[in-house]
Structures are given as structure tokens and as C-alpha cells.
């Protein structure tokens, strides 16, 4: 069993009338309002049908916030296949009895199936969401059910080797001597020795109180800093001396409870522009005293790190 101080890996949602639509499109959505905020942001998700039964485990490949009535705004922020199924989800749900009952933006989750869950696995009688640790979700045939995405995603490797065994890892890296990487999965492979073929999350958890973080730094447009995409997103502003990052959004609030309870040291590989590679810019730690739900301040605590000394 994992240490309870670490955040759970899996969130379980009641799917209700949208259950079949989720299974068909591998997309889930809920209103982007405080009433739907959850305690943890989990990389994996499962859905409960009637009776509370959970049949499939998914990985969250990407997440976008936009108004379902203006879904075209997400077109340039997603790979074409992901946008196609997002649009399909909106069309099917929009024409159903369930529809989109709330005005304003929704949070859309683009999902990749991990595997089937051994039955019976249920949480009957629960109306809201609940959490699990990944190791406590019983998957069928664990030899074949890996946690890697099984559909093409934005950061997809061209290597077709299915071997997921551990390989060589980077040792000491610093801001001055950082290697560069074109894709997030390449950073993870170099830091952990894994052989992933794709990954599309903003962070990757490690043990020993660390996680890898892959922020995209904003661009200056019209005299203000904005994300690259037209989809509502986080702005990660790096100070001129490189010693602080301010993480904020015009559309979402920082979950300070999750920050306090989460992993505390962020090994940061940033991307400065759409054409720039990912590069190590330091190891950062949230400054709880100076942060609030309106913005998270991270302070650089190291400009070099020995990755070989971190437990995976």
C-alpha cells in the first residue's frame, strides 16, 4: 500500500446518462465551476455505471477547458484525432436528453484506455467522485495492461519498439549543461530509464518527494502574457533571473490543498516557445506562504540535480 501522504492516482466519477458516450468517444466532461472542483488532479480515471460498477481504467491524455457551444476554439490545441473525438462527444451529448445543462465552459478530458478491470469492482450508493491508488485497481491480465497510452497522442514517439524495460538514466544535470528534448516522453525516458512511446501530461510523479514538471512558458501578445493556444490554459511566468515561476490562470483556481499535500519538489523542464526544445531550468518548490488560489509561486531551490540518486 502506498504511503497515505501521497496523492491518489485514480479518480472514479459517476457517469450516469453519459456512460455510453464516454465509452464510445473516450471523452469525459464536467462544468468548469467551483462546484465540480476535486481534491486531487489524477492521471487515471474510471467511471461508475448503475450499481456503482467500474469496468475500464483510462489515462487522462490531455485536458482542455472550452465552451461546448464554441468547440472550434479547441481545434488548434489538440491533435486532429483528439479534436475529432472531442467534437464527436459534444455532438452526441448535445443532441441527447442529457445535453450540456450548465452555461459557460466545461473541462474536457481526452482519455486513453489502459485496460479492463476485474469484476466485481464497485462502489454502490455513492453519488459523487471518489479516489483509489493505482495499485488497488484490479486490472485484467496485468502483463498486457500497461499504463502507457494505446492511442496516438501529441507527444508520440516514432520508435515502434514495445519494450518497456528500464534503460540508462541521466546522472547530474545543471542549468548550464542541460540536454534538450523535443518531446515530454524523451525527458521522462532520460530521467527514469523508461522507454515510453508517448506522454501528454504536465507532470510525471517520482518517489522521494519529487516529480518532473513540463511547463510551457507564455508568449507576449498585445502587451500581456498569454498561453500559446486559444484554449483556456495556465500561464507559467518565469522571472527574469530564472529563480521564480508564477503559475496562474484566468479561468481556473489553484487547488492549494492539493499543493500542500502533493509532492513538494518540481524538477522542471520548460519549453520557451512552440519551436523550442524542453530544457532543465532548475528544481522548484512551491512557496505556500506567498501563494493563493489566484496564483502559485514556485521558488528555485537548486540549479543542478543528480537524477541517478532519486528513487523511481
User: How much is the CA Rg of the chain, to the nearest whole Å?
Assistant: 19
Tens digit of each residue's pLDDT (9 = 90 or more) over 58-96: 888 788 888 999 988 888 777 777 888 999 999 999 988
Fold of 10-136: 2.30.130
Tens digit of each residue's pLDDT (9 = 90 or more) over 137-168: 888 764 433 333 332 333 333 333 333 445 57
Strand partners, 278: 181, 271
What predicted TM-score, i.e. pTM, was given to this entire model? 0.48
Residue located via cell numbers 469496468 = 55
The pLDDT assigned to 9 comes to 79
Tens digit of each residue's pLDDT (9 = 90 or more) over 174-216: 898 889 999 988 998 888 888 887 776 788 888 667 889 998 8
Q: What's the pLDDT band for 114 if we cut at 50, 70, 90?
A: confident
Q: Are 229 and 236 in contact (CB under 8 A)?
A: no
The pLDDT assigned to 250 comes to 74
The pLDDT assigned to 122 comes to 84
Residues in CB range of 214: below 8 A, 6 or more apart: 184, 187, 201, 202, 203, 204, 268, 269, 270, 271, 278
The pLDDT assigned to 38 comes to 63
Return mean pLDDT, the chain: 79
CA trace torsion 230, 249, 228, 199 (10° rounding): -100
Judged by average pLDDT, the poorest of 98-102, 175-179, 294-298, 307-311 is 307-311
The pLDDT assigned to 146 comes to 37
DSSP 303: S
Amino acid at each position: 500500500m502506498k504511503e497515505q501522504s501521497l496523492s491518489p492516482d485514480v479518480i472514479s466519477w459517476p457517469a450516469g446518462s453519459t456512460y455510453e458516450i464516454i465509452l464510445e468517444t473516450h471523452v469525459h466532461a464536467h462544468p468548469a465551476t467551483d462546484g465540480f472542483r476535486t481534491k486531487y488532479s489524477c492521471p487515471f480515471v474510471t467511471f461508475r455505471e448503475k450499481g456503482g460498477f467500474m469496468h475500464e481504467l483510462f489515462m487522462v491524455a490531455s485536458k482542455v477547458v472550452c465552451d461546448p457551444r464554441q468547440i472550434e476554439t479547441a481545434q488548434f490545441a489538440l491533435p486532429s484525432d483528439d479534436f475529432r473525438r472531442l467534437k464527436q462527444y459534444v455532438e452526441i451529448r448535445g443532441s441527447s436528453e442529457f445535453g450540456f445543462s450548465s452555461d459557460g465552459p466545461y473541462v474536457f478530458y481526452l482519455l486513453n484506455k489502459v485496460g479492463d478491470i476485474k469484476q466485481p469492482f464497485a462502489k454502490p450508493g455513492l453519488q459523487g467522485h471518489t479516489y483509489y491508488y493505482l495499485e488497488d485497481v484490479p486490472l485484467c491480465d496485468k502483463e498486457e495492461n500497461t499504463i502507457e497510452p494505446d492511442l496516438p497522442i501529441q507527444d508520440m514517439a516514432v520508435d515502434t519498439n514495445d519494450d518497456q524495460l528500464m534503460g540508462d538514466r541521466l546522472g547530474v544535470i545543471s542549468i548550464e549543461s542541460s540536454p534538450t528534448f523535443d518531446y515530454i516522453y524523451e525527458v521522462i525516458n532520460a530521467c527514469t530509464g523508461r522507454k515510453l512511446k508517448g506522454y501528454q501530461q504536465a507532470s510525471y510523479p517520482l518517489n522521494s518527494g519529487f516529480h518532473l514538471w513540463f511547463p510551457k512558458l507564455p508568449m507576449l501578445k498585445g502587451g500581456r502574457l498569454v498561453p500559446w493556444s486559444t484554449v483556456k490554459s495556465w500561464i507559467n511566468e518565469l522571472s527574469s533571473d530564472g529563480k521564480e515561476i508564477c503559475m496562474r490562470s484566468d479561468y481556473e483556481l489553484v487547488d492549494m490543498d492539493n499543493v500542500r499535500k502533493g509532492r513538494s519538489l518540481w524538477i522542471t523542464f520548460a519549453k520557451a516557445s512552440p519551436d523550442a526544445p524542453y530544457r532543465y531550468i532548475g528544481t522548484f518548490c512551491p512557496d505556500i506562504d506567498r501563494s493563493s488560489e489566484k496564483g502559485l509561486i514556485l521558488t528555485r531551490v537548486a540549479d543542478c540535480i543528480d537524477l541517478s540518486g532519486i528513487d523511481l
